[in-house]
């Protein structure tokens, strides 16, 4: 490969049995799959101005995912 190789030169475009497995597991993930696989699920959110906890309503900078809601540290069951 020359020095000006693009990132697409490194992609494996051949289909094999592992692709079928990926398709099955991708449907279990939250959000639509991307070209490289399933979308990542966020577990934490930070807002400098603060945002309301979806459980108790307290305005905090840091919130964590819990059963589909962003909650403050006091409401998070660890």
More confident residue, 2 or 51: 51
CB 38 within 8 A of CB 29: yes
Query: ∠ at Cα 69 (22, 31), nearest 5°?
Result: 25
User: How much is the average pLDDT of 17-22?
Assistant: 48
pTM for this model (two decimals): 0.50
pLDDT tens for each residue of 30-53 = 566 667 777 788 899 999 999 999
DSSP β-bridge partners for residue 59: 52
CA dist 40 and 23 (Å) reads 15
């Amino acid at each position: 490969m020359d020095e000006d190789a693009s990132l697409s030169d490194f992609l494996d475009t051949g289909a094999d049995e592992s692709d079928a497995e990926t398709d099955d597991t991708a449907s279990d993930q939250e959000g639509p799959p991307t070209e490289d696989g399933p979308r990542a699920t966020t577990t934490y959110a930070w807002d400098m101005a603060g945002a309301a906890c979806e459980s108790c309503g307290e305005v905090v900078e840091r919130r964590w995912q819990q059963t589909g809601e962003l909650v403050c540290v006091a409401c998070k069951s660890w």
